[in-house]
């Protein structure tokens, strides 16, 4: 069955509300407007204003309400319009949600799920287009997910709600319109392991989110030149499944990491460091990284495109470390 990423997200939220009366959704424009990305469209009419709550423009406030509701035994799904705005709620996310279980010796669980849009590519300018998931992947006490396929978008939410700890789900804005096949036999996914999305023997392309379709397109282009690229979808950014990455790099002996975050202090930097620590002698070439330009994401279409990772840049990075065929 073909389905859009947006509809997969919507079905996941709807199923969560239908399955558990403790579950509710809140955020800016999630009710009457149907969500800024139409993910919650129709849910207010189906479940009512006590289960689908429109909030003021006050991320710190409504995220804090979500933390309290989770501690009290409810299962809140907080939607933050864009990950840039999540910085207004950083105190609640980092100093409360991520720490309360540890600070109370496990007396309090915080089963909170926060969904937010991330990434550039839609000409939404700097305050709506950055990729900050790598920042949150730095914080112990959080689980950080980045669904890149309709299957993960459809089923990661249920697994996140079942987790006793706070889970952040980053949905890339460019993926909402993407379509993919949803296998009716699949009814659940894990939120622990990376996935090999394409097998290959010459190098590994390691990525997540909207980097996945770009890496798959790059792998197609490389295949036309006789280079077999293996594509790894991280899926879970904290905790990282380095075992899958290490197994791939050990086979291919070359790696390109594609991360829409800025290169400095990025998730790609962490992965590269771990490869240097644990697989240095398995590598036959330097680690290459393809990241966003170190600038606020531009509004102008041509500038935005130039600032973000591209298929062409991924192909060029791969060719720089693969012997000529």
pLDDT, one tens digit per residue, over 202-219 is: 999 999 999 999 999 999
Beta strands in the chain (DSSP E): 2-4, 23-27, 52-54, 75-80, 113-118, 143-145, 167-172, 179-181, 195-198, 203-207, 229-233, 236-238, 255-262, 288-292
pLDDT, one tens digit per residue, over 217-245 is: 999 999 999 999 999 999 999 999 999 99
If you average pLDDT over residues 147-167, what whole number do you get?
97
Q: Is the pLDDT of residue 1 over 90?
A: no
Q: Is the pLDDT of residue 21 over 90?
A: yes
Q: Read off the pTM.
A: 0.97
Q: Which two tokens stand for residue 124?
A: 């939404």
**CA atoms of 12 and 31, how far apart (whole Å):** 16
Q: Is the pLDDT of residue 192 over 90?
A: yes
Q: Is the pLDDT of residue 325 over 80?
A: no
Intervals of CATH 3.40.50.970 along the chain: 2-181
Q: Which two tokens stand for residue 321?
A: 């470390």
Active site annotation includes 128:
yes
Q: Are 170 and 116 in contact (CB under 8 A)?
A: yes
Residue that is written with structure tokens 């089923």 in the block: 155
Backbone angles phi, psi at 319, to 5 degrees: -65, -25
pLDDT band at 48 (very low <50, low <70, confident <90, very high): very high
Domain covering 195-319, topology: Rossmann fold (3.40.50)
Domain covering 2-181, topology: Rossmann fold (3.40.50)
Intervals of CATH 3.40.50.920 along the chain: 195-319
User: What share of the chain in percent tops pLDDT 70?
Assistant: 100
Residue that is written with structure tokens 């394409």 in the block: 198
pLDDT, one tens digit per residue, over 251-286 is: 999 999 999 999 999 999 999 999 999 999 999 999
**CA atoms of 231 and 244, how far apart (whole Å):** 11
If you average pLDDT over residues 187-203, what whole number do you get?
97
DSSP 296: P
Q: What is the mean pLDDT of the chain?
A: 97
User: How many other CB atoms sit within 10 Å of the CB of residue 91?
Assistant: 13
Helix (H, G, I), strand (E, B) or coil at 325: coil
Selected catalytic residue, list 7, 59, 79, 260: 59
DSSP 128: G
Q: Are 254 and 322 in contact (CB under 8 A)?
A: yes
Selected catalytic residue, list 7, 28, 79, 128: 128
Active site annotation includes 312:
no
Q: Which two tokens stand for residue 323?
A: 């012997």
Q: Are 260 and 131 in contact (CB under 8 A)?
A: yes
pLDDT band at 324 (very low <50, low <70, confident <90, very high): confident
> What pLDDT does 254 receive?
98
Q: Choose among 213, 286, 276: nearest CA to 5.
A: 213
**CA atoms of 273 and 275, how far apart (whole Å):** 5
pLDDT band at 298 (very low <50, low <70, confident <90, very high): very high
């Amino acid at each position: 069955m073909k389905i859009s990423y947006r509809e997969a997200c919507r079905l996941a939220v709807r199923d969560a509300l239908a399955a558990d009366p403790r579950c509710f959704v809140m955020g800016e424009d999630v009710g009457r407007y149907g969500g800024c990305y139409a993910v919650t469209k129709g849910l207010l009419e189906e479940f009512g204003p006590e289960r689908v709550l429109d909030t003021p423009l006050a991320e710190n406030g409504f995220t804090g309400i979500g933390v309290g509701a989770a501690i009290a035994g409810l299962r809140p799904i907080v939607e933050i319009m864009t990950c840039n705005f999540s910085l207004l709620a950083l105190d609640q996310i980092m100093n409360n949600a991520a720490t309360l279980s540890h600070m109370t010796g496990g007396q309090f669980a915080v089963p909170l799920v926060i969904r937010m849009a991330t990434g550039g590519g839609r000409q939404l300018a700097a305050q709506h287009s950055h990729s900050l998931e790598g920042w949150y992947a730095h914080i112990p006490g959080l689980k950080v997910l980045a669904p890149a396929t309709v299957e993960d978008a459809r089923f990661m939410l249920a697994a996140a709600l079942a987790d006793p700890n706070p889970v952040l789900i980053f949905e890339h804005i460019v993926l909402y319109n993407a379509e993919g096949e949803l296998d009716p036999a699949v009814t659940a996914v894990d939120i622990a392991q990376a996935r090999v999305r394409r097998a290959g023997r010459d190098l590994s392309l390691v990525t997540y989110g909207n980097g996945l379709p770009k890496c798959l397109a790059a792998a197609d282009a490389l295949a036309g030149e006789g280079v077999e690229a293996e594509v790894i979808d991280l899926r879970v950014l904290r905790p990282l499944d380095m075992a899958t990455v290490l197994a791939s790099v050990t086979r291919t002996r070359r790696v390109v990491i594609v991360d829409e975050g800025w290169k400095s202090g990025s998730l790609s930097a962490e992965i590269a460091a771990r490869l240097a620590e644990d697989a240095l002698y398995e590598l036959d070439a330097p680690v290459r990284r393809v990241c966003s330009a170190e600038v606020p994401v531009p509004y102008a279409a041509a500038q935005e495109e130039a600032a973000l990772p591209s298929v062409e840049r991924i192909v060029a990075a791969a060719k720089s470390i693969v012997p000529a065929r």
